[in-house]
Chain A
Amino acid sequence: MKKKLPYILLFIMLAWHVVLFAQDRFPRPEFESGYVYPEHQVPLQRSLVWEYIDLVVLIGALAVASWLALKKRSRQGLVWLSVFSLAYFGFFREGCVCSVGSVQNVSLALFNDGYAIPLTALLFFIIPLIFALAFGRVFCAGVCPLGAIQELTGFRTVKLPRAVESVMISIPFIYLGLSVLSSATESQFLICRYDPFVGIFRLDAPYTMIIFGALLLVAGIFINRPYCRYLCPYGVLLNLFSRFSHRHLTITPAECTNCRLCEDVCPYDAIIPSDIVRPVEEPQKERKRFLIYILLVPLFAVGGAVLFRNLSPVFAGLNSNVQLAREIRAEKEDGIVAISKAAIAFKEAGKTENEMFEDEIKIHERFRKGSVWMGIFLGVSFGLSLVSLSTRTRRTDYLPHKGKCYSCGRCFQYCPIHLSKIAADEKT
């Protein structure tokens, strides 16, 4: 055997490029010394039980958060709950799977047959929404680890100008649309890829992720909860659900006296002042504007659909197969040599170029369809937010904005009625 080896080697040296996949070249030895093959090691995954424990903890934490925000009215309790959630969902469970990311699992499962969604991911998506429909955004208040880390690091409040704020709060809608589109077309999970804090939870991440997370945290000291307000795609859904919530946190436990003490305390700009002093507009003028805005909604929807349909080739760039096809085409047509690892792997593998280009056309088609829906969604959202600007409500109380309020409970201690009630409780 030992003498033959050089000849075998020589043969293989000459031929190995051709026989790349014929790997079973050498005969397996017949041992004479009674050698026993070592065990082929396959260490199994940590138990699945944890995922179900997560679910129980999620429901428990949501229930506690609702109780603390609506019934007990305790800011301190919510802070401690945030600490717990940060420790458990964040650092102990390392932030996967979270409700924010589960949006993508759901859209991947809805639009693809090959993917079976784990029950836990589906429930992580649904349960906070149900709680939002019942009690407002209690999930944000103290359960979401991403929210918790920002809640605990927001020390000072600097208010952004209204114009900037209103532009910034439209980003989550686009982010949600893009990430649903991207996961529905099996391209990538954008929310997970650009999750700012998961690197901190794991204490290990690419440096770009750490920088992004650290920047958000530093910005969050002043502009509180920047991720939740200006990026979180799940927040869009919670916002919508919370607007129709059955019950919601209130600033005051009893009748509001319009003392205006809570007016400026909300760091999230979520307290709508009472408007007894606002000048009343002519009803006719107002009605006319409302009607115009309502009629504009379908127009925005169509406009969005057309715009995004034309933009769909740009979005298709999110898909790695499309990227590869573009690279190969550039090599063929313009002579730019394809040097990416995907291109090298493609050249080694047996797939023909035609197959790939056909594949690309199919993916483009899917993106075109999806982009139209995304455009409609964004157009309708934009139109409806204009409509809501023109509806006049007459408020005699200071109320939290149900969509924007994170139920953090900061406003409680500024309400004299709340304080006097606590004092009365302590006496008895």
Chain B
Amino acid sequence: MKEDKNIYQSRRDFVRTAGKILVAVPVIILPVALSKKVTASGNVWQIDPHKCTQCGQCKTKCVLTPSAVKCMHNYRMCSYCDLCGGYLRQGTKTISTAAENQLCPTAAITRTFVEEPYFQYTIEEDLCDGCGKCVLGCKDFGNGSLYLQINQDLCVNCNECAIARNCPSDAISRIPDKEQYIPKEKI
């Protein structure tokens, strides 16, 4: 009887040890298999402004409210127009800073006079909600100096970006931590 028990015991021990090895091996192999694909620095999510179609999902799909996506302005591309496609609503009769003329729903763009006939347009990031209306306006009727970017200081860097999942033009992708932005440069 005693011997019989011992056999069972050793068989059970065998199964247990075999199982231990069986599950331990993948854990050891995994880092080795992935050794070439590991980066010490992380990734961040960023919008490629050249692919972006300003569909407006950046405003609504981000897990943050307001969205971490903000409009950025490359001043060196801007032509400082009086009649600005990014600032003024289509079909406005007068060029003024009146609220009914502004394209931006949150009045996040301020217009300041520089010199005749130039005006500077500045984005207030706190007010911007990343809807992209001004970007579309500037793209359709302007130099395209306004563009959407994910503000890395606000972004919580989700494992999978909720906007990226919904982006219809696949404009959002992981980029190396070192770069963080995809600036729109002067052509």
Chain A residues proximal to chain B, CB less than 8 Å = 1-2, 5, 9, 12, 16, 20, 23-29, 31-33, 35, 37-38, 40-46, 48, 51, 94, 96-97, 101-102, 104-106, 109-110, 113, 115-122, 125-126, 129-130, 133, 188-189, 192-193, 198-199, 202, 204-206, 240-241, 243-244, 246, 320, 340-346, 348-349
Contacts and interface: CB of A to CB of B under 8 A. Distances in A.
A117 B159 contact: no
Contact of B114 (A35, A102, A119, A122): A35
A106 B159 CA distance: 12
Contacts of A33: 114-115
B114 A48 contact: no
Given A16-B141, A26-B81, A37-B76, A119 B39 contact: yes
B72 A40 contact: yes
Contacts of A349: 53, 169
B130 interface: no
B86 to A, nearest CB: 11
A119 B72 contact: no
B43 interface: yes
Among A41, A45, A94, A198, find the residue whose CB has the most chain B CB atoms closer than 10 A: A45
B130 to A, nearest CB: 14
Contact of B74 (A26, A35, A40, A205): A40
Given A188-B160, A244-B23, A35 B155 contact: no
Interface in B102-147: 114-115, 117-118, 120, 122, 125, 138-144
A45 B177 contact: yes
Contact of B30 (A94, A104, A126, A193): A126
A26 B152 contact: no
B41 interface: yes
A327 to B, nearest CB: 11
A385 to B, nearest CB: 14
B174 interface: yes
Nearest to A104: B159
B27 A130 contact: yes
9 contacts: A28-B78, A40-B72, A42-B152, A109-B34, A116-B37, A118-B42, A125-B30, A133-B20, A340-B168
Nearest to A28: B79
Given A1-B117, A28-B79, A117-B39, A122 B23 contact: no
A29 B80 contact: yes
Among B143, B154, B168, B183, find the residue whose CB has the most chain A CB atoms closer than 10 A: B168
Contacts of A43: 151-154
Contacts, number: 190
Nearest to A1: B117
A102 B144 CA distance: 38
Contact of B142 (A25, A97, A120, A341): A25
Contacts of A44: 152-153, 180
B27 A45 contact: no
A38 B122 contact: yes
A115 B53 contact: no
A133 B177 contact: no
A45 B141 contact: no
Contacts of A26: 79, 81, 142-143
B157 interface: yes
A346 B152 CA distance: 28
Contact of B34 (A31, A42, A117, A193): A117
Nearest to A188: B165
B101 interface: no
Contacts of B118: 29, 31, 35
B163 to A, nearest CB: 12
Given A122-B34, A192-B160, A244-B16, A40 B24 contact: no
User: Shortest 3 CB-CB distances between A and B: which pairs?
Assistant: A23-B144, A26-B79, A189-B160
A243 B57 CA distance: 45
Given A2-B117, A43-B151, A192 B72 contact: no
B44 interface: yes
B159 A48 contact: no
Contact of B42 (A27, A31, A35, A120): A120
Contacts of A115: 37, 174
A197 B43 CA distance: 23
Contacts of B187: 23-24
A20 B74 CA distance: 19
Given A118-B42, A241-B23, A346-B168, A110 B79 contact: no
Contacts of B160: 104, 188-189, 192-193
B173 to A, nearest CB: 9
Contact of A342 (B39, B159, B168): B168
B37 A32 contact: no
B83 interface: yes
B144 to A, nearest CB: 3
Contacts of B156: 94, 96, 202
Given A31-B118, A126-B31, A133 B23 contact: yes
B64 interface: yes
A348 B53 contact: yes
A40 B70 CA distance: 13
B77 A133 contact: no
A243 B18 CA distance: 12
